[in-house]
Every structure is written in C-alpha cells, then in structure tokens.
Structure 1
C-alpha cells in the first residue's frame, strides 16, 4: 500500500491539490471503526513530514483504541463555507503505528508537540484511495478526481 510519497509519484497533480486542501486547516475529521463495527468520527490533526502523512492520538483516546484494533480509517480535510470553498480532500487507508520511541518523539516534535507522553500513539498513513472534490475553473460543474490502487486515476464532472 502506497505511502504519501509514493502517491505524489503516482498521481502528482491530485496529491498536490489534496495536500494543499489538507494543509489549509489544522483540524480534520477522521472516521475509524468501533469495536461493534459502527463508524466513529473524531477531530484530528495530520501533518506531512519526511514524505509521509502522520496522525497521532492521545493516551486513552477512543480513536486510538479503534486504530489499534482495526487500522482502517478515512480522513476528510477541513472545509470552508461558500464562497470561499476551494474544495475537499478525502483519503482512506491503513494507519501503521510507529513503535520506535526515538522516531515517534522526532515526528511528534516536528508536528509541534512540546511534550510527548510515551503512551501517545503515532501512525504513518498508508493510502488506499485519495479524492479531491472541487468546482471546475468555470465554477459551473463539480469535479471529482480520485485515485485507487485497483482503478488508478479517474475524474468525473457533474452539473
């Protein structure tokens, strides 16, 4: 499963646009899978560091417990209200926990953490699908561009 850096090579324009949308807001929304199989949505911060996309969770968080049990997730960028809306980025994949304490500390520090609890969890994102939804330049159609491992890069527009 591709890392963010690999996605940048496979679909550079889509990855660039998605990254801009993801970096436009500190807070994003993550969906994880609860123990009973139901979805859970939570706020989260995500950062691009050293060619990878990283997410973390505080000790005892429900989303952290969800990811430890089932690493599948979906992430949605923050979104602006019209007329300032530039689009939304969405991705889904697997969260791979980083257990190396030295690496974990370095990434958390790069994410802006002043102190790091050893029980905090840090995950590198493996991407299964990536999508950007936005208006066309003429602003008369909705453009949806997405990439999946199985289907490659695709695009549709809707009026």
Structure 2
C-alpha cells in the first residue's frame, strides 16, 4: 500500500493529472462492499487535504459502516460528457478509520471544517492502485495509465 505523496514522488506528472481529474468535479463515486459481499456505489465529496485523499462525511452513513467492516474500496473521479471528456481517475485500496482525536483535529483544521459543525466519519486512504483514463492527443485511442506500489507506472492503449 502507498500514500498519494508516494505516487507524487514516483510519478509527479501522472499524480498531477490524477489529482486534476478528482478536483474537476465535486461529486465522486465510492464503491464499498455490503455485508453480503455485494458492491455498493455511493456518492461522496472527497477532497485532497494536506496532499492526501481522505474519505469523510456524515456519521452513521452505510458506506462508512461498510468500510469499518471491510476497508476495501474503489473511488471514481466522475467523468465529463463524451464531447468534453479529458480524463477520469480511480483510486483503490484500503480505507482505515481515523479515531485518534489529534489526527481528526488536524484533518478538520486542514480541511477547514468549522469547529462547531458536529461529528464526521473519517478514513485515511492506503492506495493499492491509481488509474488515469484519458484520450491520446489525436483523440483516437483510449489510454489507461496505472500505478501500483512496487510496480510503478504502466500504460495500455485501446483503439
């Protein structure tokens, strides 16, 4: 598993493009696993805080109950319509619940969460794969760039 900071250190241009894809839209899609093992897709407004992606949101959400039981996740940046498509990105790995008050307070401060805003769920992200899907320069082929810890960056083209 890796942090996004490690992705940036290994492949800075790739990491910047991934982050831009996530920053392009407020709403993302989070995939978790239900108690019976079936997938659950949920909307989430993930943001990068202090250089890392975090999963945070309202208490008692079923997506966070899923993550507490089984931390495996996939997060999709969301995509623009076909004629405006530039790129989309995906993160997958393990979400680890953050319960330490000092770490939660540091996140809240860095994220600009108002002190009286009530509780929130918080999960740190450990990455197993980071993917960027985009069109080549001529818009004639789909390019899938994938980064994994210990393997680095690979690329595949689909025409």
Query: In the alignment, is the contact (CA less than 8 A) between 2:50 and 2:110 conserved in 1?
Result: no
Where 1:83 maps in the other structure, the secondary structure is: helix
Query: In the alignment, is the contact (CA less than 8 A) between 1:105 and 1:116 conserved in 2?
Result: no
- Rounded Cα–Cα distance in structure 2 between residues aligned with 1:77 and 1:136: 19
Which residues in structure 2 correspond to 1:2-151 (within 5 Å)?
Answer: 2-114=2-114, 115-118=116-119, 120-149=120-149, 151=151
> If the length of structure 2 is used for normalisation, what is the TM-score?
0.91
**Mind listing any 5+ residue stretches in structure 1 that lack a counterpart?**
none
Query: In the alignment, is the contact (CA less than 8 A) between 2:92 and 2:127 conserved in 1?
Result: yes
Structure 1 residue runs of 4 or more that deviate by more than 6 Å after TM superposition: none
- Rounded Cα–Cα distance in structure 1 between residues aligned with 2:101 and 2:71: 20
Aligned Cα root-mean-square deviation (Å): 1.5
Query: Could you report, residue by residue, the CA deviation over 1:41-81 in whole angstroms, capped at 9, with x for unpaired residues?
Result: 00011111222211113111000100111111000002110
- Rounded Cα–Cα distance in structure 2 between residues aligned with 1:151 and 1:54: 24
How many corresponding residue pairs?
A: 158
Query: In the alignment, is the contact (CA less than 8 A) between 1:3 and 1:52 conserved in 2?
Result: yes
How far apart are residue 112 of structure 1 and its match? 4.2
- Rounded Cα–Cα distance in structure 1 between residues aligned with 2:27 and 2:105: 21
- Rounded Cα–Cα distance in structure 2 between residues aligned with 1:7 and 1:123: 19
How far apart are residue 151 of structure 1 and its match? 3.6
